[in-house]
Structure 1
Amino acid sequence: MNAIPPLLDHLVLATPDLGATVAEFARRTGIVPAPGGVHLALGTRNQLVGLGGRSYLEIIGPDPEQPAPTGPRPFGVDRLAAPAVLTWAISPPDLDAAVAGARAVGHDPGPVRPMSRRTPDGAVLRWRLTDTGPGEGAGLVPFLIDWGDSPHPAASGLPVTPLLAVSASAPDPERVRGPLAALGTSLALATGPVALSFTLDTPNGPVSFG
């Protein structure tokens, strides 16, 4: 079993207070996440850390400078009591082919929809992704993302702290392994409550989140 999931694009650390979580991340790791940008009309913003290669960590929380969105903020950040590793994303070579292939073997990754965010320098990044939604192993089965013609966040000069491992637990790991295999990836799974965690190789030594 790979310590790092195949096709990993990014991990999502969601928080009700982005500033506090970024400060705590910097204190624990010695790495200061870079501003990523704002998700216009969604009420969130993020900060990013490279994980080595074409992978990164997204720390996402409410953006106090935006008006309240008309619906819930992404990843349920409004309902979080504390930071949580909520989910992860993979970037297959061909998103549409990966969706069709997964559906052909019984796993529906969900609809594909467009997204965007404005970076601190004013550029707008656009991408497409799936929304796995609720269900067995919610958050443990990744969503799919295709950056299209936009530059990948990991190639934007982010501070880097290498990813050592990603692991998870689920009440019935086998019910998660099927969808993972259908998407062409895998995850180290143990039996237990639904949880996702990762470990970084930082200037302060190995540090785990989750």
Structure 2
Amino acid sequence: MNAIPPLLDHLVLATPDLGTTVADFTRRTGVTPVPGGAHPGPGTRNHPVGLGGRSHREIIGPDPEQPEPAGPRTFGADRPAGPTVLTRAISPPDLDAAISGARTRGVDPGAPRQMSRRTPDGTVLRRRLTGTDAGAVPDPVPFLIDWGDSRHPAASGLPVTPLPTVSASVPDPEAVRTRPAAPGTSLDLTEGPTALSFTVDTPNGPVVFG
């Protein structure tokens, strides 16, 4: 069963050691993530895997072929002590309208910024997205993304591990429920330490990441 939440674009699994985490993912699932490409400037690169439909998961970490960035790495990928599901992205039909609507509800997703990455075949993928300066602690409130005219990663023949569940826990679920970045995109939340996790169906059976 695939239960992708509405408008989910991708889940972010950040790691300080990209090679080790990709190898561990392959061992646990029997599926090898593909090289996605480098993010020039922030000093990261990623390996995506499809979740089904127009959704994917990216494993992101420091790129050893880039110099140390002047500012924080995308998603603070080098801050967690180990692989951590830090955040998720949703793709509203109209990014600017979603940002404006969130602000009218008293939630500011932040100003969108342009980012890009170059795939191994030389294609440059450009997208606009709101804040990605996550730290070592997961954030159940998603950021917003718009791929514009770029080919969506999920449309590039990624291997797929279907997504049956996504879950989150926070100390105060009600406070988070009042901060939806876009209507209809909230997760079911439970009370507990702040954490995000997801389960994927794989050739090796269900595997949980979190």
- Give the TM-score normalised by the residue count of structure 2: 0.94
Does structure 1 residue 185 correspond to structure 2 residue 185?
A: yes
Structure 2 partner of 1:55 = 55
Structure 2 partner of 1:7 = 7
Taking a change above 3 Å as real, the CA distance of residues 90 and 159 of structure 1, as seen in their structure-2 partners, is same
Please, what is the CA RMSD of the aligned residues? Answer: 1.8
Q: In the alignment, residue 127 of structure 1 is paired with which amino acid?
A: R
Structure 2 partner of 1:83 = 83
Taking a change above 3 Å as real, the CA distance of residues 30 and 96 of structure 1, as seen in their structure-2 partners, is same
User: For the Cα contact (< 8 Å) 2:14–2:60, is it kept in 1?
Assistant: yes
Q: In the alignment, residue 75 of structure 1 is paired with which amino acid?
A: F
Q: In the alignment, residue 178 of structure 1 is paired with which amino acid?
A: T
Taking a change above 3 Å as real, the CA distance of residues 154 and 3 of structure 1, as seen in their structure-2 partners, is closer
- What CA deviation, in whole Å up to 9, does each residue of 1:133-188 have, x standing for no partner? 579x9620000000000000000000001011100000000111111274431202
User: For the Cα contact (< 8 Å) 1:109–1:132, is it kept in 2?
Assistant: no
Please give the residue correspondences for 1:15-54 in structure 2 after superposition, counting only pairs within 5 Å: 15-54=15-54
Structure 2 partner of 1:146 = 146
Distance between the aligned counterparts of 1:48 and 1:21, measured in 2?
A: 12
Q: Report percent identity of matched pairs.
A: 74
Structure 2 partner of 1:114 = 114
Taking a change above 3 Å as real, the CA distance of residues 132 and 44 of structure 1, as seen in their structure-2 partners, is closer
Structure 2 partner of 1:101 = 101
Q: In the alignment, residue 88 of structure 2 is paired with which amino acid?
A: W
User: For the Cα contact (< 8 Å) 1:16–1:82, is it kept in 2?
Assistant: yes
Name structure 1 gaps, 5 residues minimum.
none
SS in 2 for 1:22: helix
State the 4+ residue runs in structure 1 displaced beyond 4 angstroms: 132-135
Taking a change above 3 Å as real, the CA distance of residues 133 and 173 of structure 1, as seen in their structure-2 partners, is farther
Distance between the aligned counterparts of 2:3 and 2:102, measured in 1?
A: 23
- Give the TM-score normalised by the residue count of structure 1: 0.94
SS in 1 for 2:52: coil
Taking a change above 3 Å as real, the CA distance of residues 25 and 58 of structure 1, as seen in their structure-2 partners, is same
- Report the Cα offset of residue 77 of structure 1: 2.1
Distance between the aligned counterparts of 1:128 and 1:155, measured in 2?
A: 18
Between Structure 1 and Structure 2, the one with more strand by share is 1
- Report the Cα offset of residue 5 of structure 1: 2.3
Structure 2 partner of 1:203 = 203
